[in-house]
Structure 1
Amino acid sequence: MSPARSGRANRAAKTAGVFGAVVGVAAAGLATAFAVERALVRRSVNAPGDPYVEEPFGDQPFDEEVTVTAADGTDLHVEIVNPRKRTRATGRPGRKGSTNGAKPTIVFVHGFALDMGTFYFQRQALAERGDHRLVFYDQPGHGRSSKLKSGTYDLAALGRSLAAVLDATVPDGHIILVGHSMGGMTIMAFAEQYPEWFGNRVTGVVLMSTSAGLFDKATLGVTNVVARVSAPFFPLWDKAAKLGGGTIDKARVASSDLAWLLTRRYGFGEVKPSPTLVTFVESMNSKTSVETLTKYLNTIYRHSRLPALSVLRGVPVLVIVGDRDYLTPVTHSREIIEQLPEAELLTIENSGHVVMLEKADEVNAVLIPFLEKIS
């Protein structure tokens, strides 16, 4: 064997040895961790005083159910709630540029590994008021929408998917867009590609727990070293999922208690959030396949759309974030405000990434007046 080939072989053996050692330590740690975390989960779920233990999370009533096919062939599941109160004129959503008094249609765009259930409490409150037409849809690969038939997911495509939903469900009249996490990024990608909509059709935007970039600076609650080391592997996860997504999905089911604890840790800000709420969020997470998750991670990590925010200038914008959001920290929302100095920023105490679920009353107390003000 040549010296060069021998050197490569030695390096490969060393790498394999290090990798094996890491896996061995991780396996030993997990064996102990699983026994502990299962006990913690059972104790938490059975804890008394959970205010949402009787809440019927899941499907909510709707007036229309449609399937919208995006430009890439993905079938998007859409649910529409019609207003209960008539407008001053026809009682129907107004046409573009009309003055018949119709309120804008509110379109909700959910985040990564979730579905339209993300906006459970906002849907409940706004439907009860009956002032607006509400549109909810599941993003590609999430909820009841189909997976991408070929290629990979990217935020630009999600922007086009949003355009398809708007064309199909709100052909005229004013629109208010509400996006959470990746949903907010989708709105930015939409603005980047369709700037003519803003100020004309889109007359308001709400961005919850989202980011215009800065993911290279986010640590997700771990050390800077770990965050930097993990970053280059995002492009590789897509290939890994294609090879072993099914196997990983089975492993997720087997370790559902651990997933529950991770959801509580990274989704919520309260030390002891409602176990029922945590279970609801984790159930949305678990329904999203590993293949879908890994295809999105790369595009989310590379997301950088600060220039796209300029399209939103002149349009009323409300930014909401929890002060204990580890996934899209407060610094990300402040960066958005720097680009949009006229926007409103609401920071909610003791709340994490799913702020609209964890602190629904506080979010709705600001969201509903904002919607009324710009309608």
Structure 2
Amino acid sequence: MSIKGRIFGTVVGAAGLAAAAGAVGIARQNRIIGNRAAGERVEFGELRSPRRVVVSDDAVDLHVEIDDPADFGAPAPADDDLTLVFVHGYSLNLDCWHFQRAAYRGQVRTVFYDQRSHGRSGRSDEDHCTIEQLGHDLRRVIEDTVPGRCVVVGHSMGGMSVISLAEHHPDLFGDKVLGAALISTTAGGLDPGRILFPMLPLGLGGRFVGRAVRTLDRGHRVVDLARSWGHAVADVFTDRYAFGTDEVPVSYVEFVYSMLNATPFAVVADFYPAFATLDNFDHLEALSRVPTAIICGTEDKITSVGHSRKLHSRIPGSSLLECEGAGHMVVLERHKEVTAELDDLISLAQAGAAR
């Protein structure tokens, strides 16, 4: 394989990083079930709403889009109706929630935002590219965009952001935040090689990977150019490490590739150290106060299913959905199963709000 292929293959290894409900919740859930295939009728990246900006504590502009049911022909929600807040993963952007966004349009008020330095959000200072800061950012998004109560849904690094929110702002849980979903994520113990260098033996992680990232970051413009050259190689690695054992449509692979390729390598390098030091398994207590759904594919090569099982064991009352054969991008690969699990979570949160 050529050097440009090896560089790009290295980079694309980052795959981003209800029974309790009453009749009202069940009726709403049935409406949502009928809408789960909506995303299949819309091209990836075409679901848009007017841009809003939430300014973080350190003055980074966060790009936010809100889908209000009233904008899609449904009655306007009351201020105390639930809002869903979606938080994307490493090297991705808010478009990764394509199927969930399509399913809930006109049904529930939903908020999507690009994490700092990702997508359309402003660039962060390297020192603030931390999981703790992402938790503070999520708090600011909730403060500015959620009039009532909410359910927070995080994938990969977005799940880490939700856990950070629970650690640093536990008072929100059970009050403002009535439910949480942790998808393909972890609270620690992650070999950084699984995030960035999944094609290398695990024994080559740690300091070796860190040195490689720092070296590549110094020439990040060349790396970005090489990434744009290596499209065919990218497709192979994206398919292998983002998805599971079942064949997925080529359009899914191309979509994930486009998001990864749009993230500058300097941003990849800025966040990389945060994964090596992540250790939040002792800070999950707030999540036990609300319904928490944990979802993962059994063939996830980035945050393996063992991480989700450990989260489940550490969060009393949580549920665990293991999608057999699915990979890290389970939100795309098994979107109907994921959305069904979110339906149940919403119903449980609604039941809690009614008490």
State the Cα RMSD in Å. 2.7
| Of 127, 150, 153, the match for 2:105 | 127
Which one of 63, 71, 74 corresponds to residue 60 of structure 2?
74
Q: Is residue 107–residue 177 contact of structure 1 (8 Å, CA) maintained in 2?
A: yes
For structure 2, the 5+ residue unaligned runs are 10-38, 351-355
**Cα deviation 1:67-122 (Å, max 9, x = unaligned):** 111112211100001124447xxx4322xxxxxxxx21110000001011111000
Measured in 1, the distance between the counterparts of 2:267 and 2:304 equals 24
Q: 1:316 to 1:271 in 2, by over 3 A?
A: closer
Alignment of 1:8-87 (within 5 A): 27=2, 55-62=42-49, 64-84=50-70, 85-86=74-75
**Equivalent-residue separation in structure 2 for 1:186 and 1:312 (angstroms):** 13
Q: TM-score, normalised by structure 2?
A: 0.82
| Range 190-199 or range 214-223, more displaced | 214-223
Structure 1 residue 106 corresponds to structure 2 residue 106: no
| Equivalent position SS for 2:205 | helix
Q: Structure 1: which amino acid aligns with 2:242?
A: G
- 1:343 matched to which residue of 2? 318
Q: 1:336 to 1:28 in 2, by over 3 A?
A: closer
The question of whether the paired residues in 1 share the 8 Å contact of 2:180 and 2:290 is answered with yes
User: Which of 168, 188, 208 lines up with 2:144 in the alignment?
Assistant: 168
Please give the TM-score of this superposition, normalised by the length of structure 1.
Answer: 0.78
Alpha carbons of structure 1 residues 184 and 57: separation in structure 2 relative to 1, 3 Å: same
Count of residues in correspondence between the two structures: 317
Q: 1-side partners of 2:196 and 2:113: how far apart? A: 30
* Residues 229 and 169 of structure 1: CA distance in aligned 2, closer, same or farther (over 3 Å): same
Give 5+ residue unaligned stretches, structure 1: 1-25, 35-51, 95-102
Instruction: Say which one has the larger Rg.
Output: 1
Alignment partners' CA distance in 1, 2:314 and 2:85 = 23
- The alpha-carbon distance between structure 1 residues 223 and 366, as it changes in their structure 2 partners (threshold 3 A), is closer
Among 253, 259, 262, the alignment partner of 2:228 is: 253
**Contact 1:266/1:327 (CA < 8 Å) preserved in 2?**
yes
**Alignment check: 8 A CA contact 1:176 1:204 kept:** yes
User: 1:120 corresponds to which letter in structure 2?
Assistant: H
Give, in angstroms, the shift of residue 295 of structure 1: 1.2
Q: Distance in 1 between matches of 2:210 and 2:3?
A: 28
**Matching residue of 2:172:** 197
SS at match of 2:289: coil
Identity rate, percent: 32
Which structure ranks higher in relative contact order (CA pairs < 8 Å, sequence separation ≥ 6)?
A: 2
Are residues 1:299 and 2:285 paired? no
Farther off after superposition, 78-87 or 195-204: 78-87
Query: 2:336 is aligned with what amino acid?
Result: D
Contact 1:238–1:291, Cα closer than 8 Å, also in 2: no
Q: 1:59 to 1:221 in 2, by over 3 A?
A: closer
Provide closer, same or farther for how the CA distance between residues 241 and 69 of structure 1 changes in structure 2, counting only shifts above 3 A: farther
- Distance in 1 (CA, whole Å) between partners of 2:52 and 2:40 is 31
Q: Match of 2:30?
A: none
For 1:284 and 1:290, how far apart are their aligned partners in 2? 12
Distance in 1 between the 2:281 and 2:54 partners?
Answer: 29
1:34-68 Cα offsets, whole Å, 9 max, x none, are: 9xxxxxxxxxxxxxxxxx99741113142x42111
In structure 1, C-alpha distance between the alignment counterparts of 2:251 and 2:65, rounded to whole Å: 24
